[in-house]
Amino acid sequence: MKAKLLITALMASLLTLTSGCFLVVGAAAGVAGYAYVDGEIKTTEAASLTQTYDATIAAMKDLEFTVTDKSKDALSGHVTAQTANNKTVKIKLKYLSKTSTEIRIRVDTFGDETLSRTVLNKINSQLSGGS
């Protein structure tokens, strides 16, 4: 019995030490939920890849970020932009179905949750027809 308890405690310690920053946030302003793991936001939106890509480009314009690279095909898309403070924002889009797209947002190498959340909220605003 003590061995099981020791192993459980050891496993919990290892998970704590090896896991990155992890946060799951519930519903907010049209966002069904997202995970912030190891410096990257990951979420799934109920919109087509094309709608999500167009909303991402519009969000970059609204935020006055300079788009430095962008591309899209039938299965994926990506947008890279620079902020006025020289932060690099990378957004990856992945086709899941005709009405579902995965979005991943990373700011610089190590991430910036606040800025990533701002970008995600702006994309969601564009998807819902706002600005």
Going from N- to C-terminal start, the domains of the chain cover: 22-127
Q: Indicate the CATH number for domain 22-127.
A: 3.30.310.80
* Lowest mean per-residue pLDDT among 15-24, 27-36, 40-49, 65-74: 15-24
For residues 115 and 56, give the distance between their C-alpha atoms in angstroms, rounded to a whole number: 14
**Using CB atoms within 10 A of its CB, is residue 37 exposed (0-12), middle (13-18) or buried (19+)?**
middle
Is residue 30 over pLDDT 50?
no
Q: Model confidence over 67-124: pLDDT tens digits?
A: 999 999 999 999 999 999 999 999 999 999 999 999 999 999 999 999 999 999 999 9
Cα–Cα distance, 18 to 70 (Å, whole number)? 33
